[in-house]
Chains A and B, each alone.
Chain A
Amino acid sequence: TQLLEQSPQFLSIQEGENLTVYCNSSSVFSSLQWYRQEPGEGPVLLVTVVTGGEVKKLKRLTFQFGDARKDSSLHITAAQPGDTGLYLCAGERYTGNQFYFGTGTSLTVIP
């Protein structure tokens, strides 16, 4: 059973469109991270959110941590082909040292 579920699993959109990726769990996390991974490479950290209700913006990307610290969303405005990749969320529990990774969302932005 996956601790963090992401939706959608696959997303193919046209350049310029907006999109939202969701990361949901029934568990509470002390922090949550979003990564982007390109083929043949390791994931690269985009953002860490630590406070319930927190919203962080990174250029065209907006990240939100749910009030109850169980879920998060990533919104991309005016998607570009360079945004193509696998987006992963990862939650850190209050107990233990593990990061639990989500199932991933594969995004393709068509020029």
Chain B
Amino acid sequence: GAGVSQSPSNKVTEKGKDVELRCDPISGHTALYWYRQRLGQGLEFLIYFQGNSAPDKSGLPSDRFSAERTGESVSTLTIQRTQQEDSAVYLCASSVRWSEQYFGPGTRLTVT
């Protein structure tokens, strides 16, 4: 596709369950970012991948959060033992250069 895609678009899960969110970046984009956006707020940086370098995980809020990326393709964000405060929209962005991020539509996660 032409843009960044994310799946699922919506996810409702019970507290304590694990969830996996997927991001397909734009082909050829070496950098990939995950952000969290709570309702009506700005974006909170979670993790950054650049090529084969070690990811910058400094934004992950707890050890329940992890992310993987295979080469320069798909990335998955995993949240273990979900809690209600994890409810938010999770956005993925990819870029060729740091200063031009292209965002996906996001996954809206609701933890009940």
Residues in A lying within 8 Å of B, measured CB to CB? 2, 4, 6, 31, 33, 40-45, 48, 50, 86, 88, 90, 92, 96-104, 106
Contact = CB atoms under 8 A, between A and B. Distances in A.
Given A43-B43, A99-B101, 17 more contacts: A2-B42, A31-B99, A33-B99, A42-B4, A42-B93, A45-B102, A48-B100, A86-B40, A92-B98, A92-B99, A97-B31, A98-B56, A98-B58, A101-B42, A101-B43, A103-B41, A106-B40
Interface of B: 4, 31, 33, 35, 40-45, 48, 50, 56, 58-59, 91, 93, 98-106
B103 A43 contact: yes
A50 B59 CA distance: 24
Of B91, B98, B99, B103, chain A has the most CB atoms within 10 Å of the CB of: B99
Contacts of B42: 2, 4, 6, 88, 101-104
A48 to B, nearest CB: 5
Given A97-B50, A97-B56, A42 B104 contact: yes
A96 B98 CA distance: 11
15 contacts: A2-B42, A33-B99, A41-B106, A42-B91, A43-B91, A43-B103, A45-B100, A48-B99, A96-B56, A97-B56, A98-B58, A101-B35, A101-B42, A101-B45, A104-B42
A98 B4 contact: no
Contacts of B59: 98
Contacts of A106: 40
A104 B43 CA distance: 9
